[in-house]
Chains A and B, each alone.
Chain A
Amino acid sequence: MFVSNFMSYPVRTVGPDTLVPEARKIMSAASCRHLPVVDESKLLLGIITDRDIRSALPSKVVDQGEMTECLHRFETLPVKRIMTETVTCLTVEATLDDALILFEEHKVGALPVLDADNRIVGILALNDLLKAYKKLFGLGVRGSSLIVVKDNGKPHPLTRLTEILEAREVPFTRLIRTGDNDRDTLIYIRIHTHKLHAIYHALAEAGFETVAPHPISLESPGFLRRE
């Protein structure tokens, strides 16, 4: 769950006097949308994004003369003039959960990761976070499905659930209990087996109620049913 296991490193960086067109080329070659700006000792000064660069380019609606002048200014623009200096960062000890909260609160696309001396050691893009959770939750793996059960207040539900799965050698990758005072507490388990029915039976025998995701009634007769 640590950011350091999922961040990109080493990080491509630029200096404050790097020209914006050069930064644009670097981003394009590295297929990234964020470039940290650092000084000689790798201390973070700011960050420049592809959006900052697009904003520095002249609008296509300006006339030709103005366009030429703007493009000339763009060619000689150092990144320090358009970079964001207040950068939201993570430390190397941060967890993915910490990163998720920062992404949500600050609406940024990438978070530089700093060591104890504030030197940049990595960067975590929003897409890196998605990939990390996908891996941790076992999503996109062939043969996995989600089971939802109600926590009906009987003791040790998580222990009993894991015992059912482990006794049958059924791998699982996610076990989450959620809920609040207004709703049922639900437990979500992502399991890996084709023998789902055996798990449903075992859960029922152990007193668990599973939750169907949709109000279609299991009792509704098929319209083609003849009897």
Chain B
Amino acid sequence: MPLSKTFVYISHPRYLEHDTGGGEHPESPERLEEINRRLQTLADPGRIVTQKPAPAARSWIMRIHSEDYLLRFEETALAGLGYFGHPDNQLGYDTYEIALLAAGAGLSGIDLAEQEPAAAIFCGVRPPGHHAEKAMALGFCFLNNIAIAARYWQEKYGRRRLAIIDFDAHHGNGIQAAFEESPEVFYLSIHEHPTFSFPGTGYAEEHGVGSGLGTTMNIPLLPGAGDREVARAFTRRVEPALADFRPEALIIGAGFDGHRLDDMSGLAYSSALYRFLGQRIAALAERHCEGRLITILEGGYHLPSLGESFSEYCSGLRQSS
């Protein structure tokens, strides 16, 4: 049995301080506490490294978000208004600073992936990001961590051709909006069908816009879809599309809310599906990008299945060689 790859977990204790008001809000600090507990039980503990990120510089955030939006976000947090834009997007006094730290995790992960492409890198962050658009908070998301990371990878390291695979149960409208006109960033998302699921975007007919036509791929699944549908989509759609596109680096939006026990979607994945995804994704990175791959946490709200799915995914990422 070969040794597992080195696993680098990038996270920050301050992520636990992003206050979503307690009560019934599903995007809670306990999510990361559960992942932190699971981290202790991963195989080959001697090859697990934890790292704290620095906050993302405002200049990188502004590659994706408008200055006016950032000002409003900061003011809303500091004013203690409770939520930003919609009652879903609850926030506390520290949320703006913590969101900068969350965006910073992807940048630290990319620096590391450039130095050590053989490592499996997971950014355990909150608040999540993939619903946030240029000037709109949405679905618990304020800054689009993945989109910011993609721009950083392109501009700091010259990796122009990037692929983003998002397997969160919900479509990442913010990532799509950021790159739908770009032929250099391929956004592929497998999610619950938008007619019946938040945020109501991500129809199969959306392929990109203008010169970005062909570098957006949405694979919506009907409620009740499970491992079989995802594996089929991954094998028949995602892998051939990436073989054609030949990305130089991969960013993964890892949401674990498609799990059958997670009632934030009607999807019915098992925990083991996430091991399958981890293996296939690591293999794609080795095949096309010399291993350059980072994963950034998005959703996943049922704590036991979030923890188990995280463990399975990380095991899959570390196994492939």
A, B in one complex = yes
Question: Residues of A with Cβ closer than 8 Å to B?
Answer: 140-146, 169-170, 192-198, 200-201, 212-214, 216-218, 220-226
A221–B222 Cα distance when bound, in Å, is: 16
- Tell me, yes or no, whether B304 is within 8 Å of chain A by CB: no
CB-defined contacts of B272 to chain A, threshold 8 Å: 222, 224-226
Q: Which 5 A/B pairs are nearest by Cβ-Cβ distance? A: A222-B227, A216-B224, A222-B270, A197-B263, A225-B270
> Besides A143-B131, A143-B198, A214-B222, 18 other CB < 8 A contacts?
A143-B138, A145-B196, A193-B86, A196-B264, A197-B264, A198-B24, A213-B195, A213-B196, A214-B223, A216-B226, A217-B224, A218-B260, A220-B226, A222-B227, A222-B228, A222-B272, A223-B228, A224-B272
Question: Residues of B with Cβ closer than 8 Å to A?
Answer: 24-26, 86-88, 131, 133, 136, 138-140, 170, 173, 193-201, 222-228, 231, 260, 263-264, 266, 268-270, 272-273, 275-276
A21–B11 Cα distance when bound, in Å, is: 68
User: Which residue of chain A lies nearest to B25 when distances are taken between CB atoms in the complex?
Assistant: A195
Interface pairs (5), CB distance under 8 Å: A142-B173, A143-B139, A216-B225, A218-B224, A220-B226
Contact B140 A194 (CB under 8 A): yes
User: Which residue of chain A lies nearest to B274 when distances are taken between CB atoms in the complex?
Assistant: A224
Contact A220 B268 (CB under 8 A): yes
CB-defined contacts of A221 to chain B, threshold 8 Å: 226, 270
CB-defined contacts of B87 to chain A, threshold 8 Å: 169-170, 193
A146–B201 Cα distance when bound, in Å, is: 12
Given contacts A143-B198, A145-B197, A194-B139, contact A224 B276 (CB under 8 A): yes
Contact A195 B226 (CB under 8 A): no
CB-defined contacts of B226 to chain A, threshold 8 Å: 216, 220-223
Within 8 Å by CB of B88, from A146, A193, A197, lies A193
Q: How far is the CB of A141 from chain B (nearest CB, A)?
A: 7
CB-defined contacts of A220 to chain B, threshold 8 Å: 224, 226, 268
CB-defined contacts of A140 to chain B, threshold 8 Å: 200
CB-defined contacts of B224 to chain A, threshold 8 Å: 212, 214, 216-218, 220
User: Which residue of chain A lies nearest to B259 when distances are taken between CB atoms in the complex?
Assistant: A222
Contact B88 A141 (CB under 8 A): no
Most chain B CB atoms below 10 A, which of A141, A192, A226: A192
Contact B270 A212 (CB under 8 A): no
A6–B269 Cα distance when bound, in Å, is: 45
CB-defined contacts of A142 to chain B, threshold 8 Å: 131, 133, 136, 138, 173, 199-201
Contact A145 B222 (CB under 8 A): no
Within 8 Å by CB of A144, from B200, B228, B266, lies B200
Within 8 Å by CB of A218, from B25, B133, B268, lies B268
Contact B198 A223 (CB under 8 A): no
A222–B146 Cα distance when bound, in Å, is: 29
Contact B197 A224 (CB under 8 A): no
Contact B227 A223 (CB under 8 A): yes
A170–B223 Cα distance when bound, in Å, is: 22
Contact A216 B199 (CB under 8 A): no
Contact B223 A212 (CB under 8 A): yes
Within 8 Å by CB of B200, from A145, A195, A198, A222, lies A145
User: Which residue of chain A lies nearest to B195 when distances are taken between CB atoms in the complex?
Assistant: A146
Contact B198 A222 (CB under 8 A): no
Q: How far is the CB of B195 from chain A (nearest CB, A)?
A: 6
Contact A194 B270 (CB under 8 A): no
CB-defined contacts of B263 to chain A, threshold 8 Å: 197, 200-201
Contact A143 B270 (CB under 8 A): no
Contact B270 A145 (CB under 8 A): no
Contact A141 B200 (CB under 8 A): yes
A200–B196 Cα distance when bound, in Å, is: 12
User: Which residue of chain A lies nearest to B174 when distances are taken between CB atoms in the complex?
Assistant: A142
A169–B282 Cα distance when bound, in Å, is: 42
Contact B200 A216 (CB under 8 A): no
A212–B268 Cα distance when bound, in Å, is: 13
CB-defined contacts of A197 to chain B, threshold 8 Å: 26, 263-264
CB-defined contacts of B196 to chain A, threshold 8 Å: 145-146, 213
Q: How far is the CB of A51 from chain B (nearest CB, A)?
A: 27
Given contacts A142-B173, A143-B200, A223-B231, contact A212 B195 (CB under 8 A): no
CB-defined contacts of A218 to chain B, threshold 8 Å: 223-224, 260, 266, 268
A29–B86 Cα distance when bound, in Å, is: 41
Q: How far is the CB of B176 from chain A (nearest CB, A)?
A: 11
User: Which residue of chain A lies nearest to B226 when distances are taken between CB atoms in the complex?
Assistant: A222
Contact B223 A145 (CB under 8 A): no
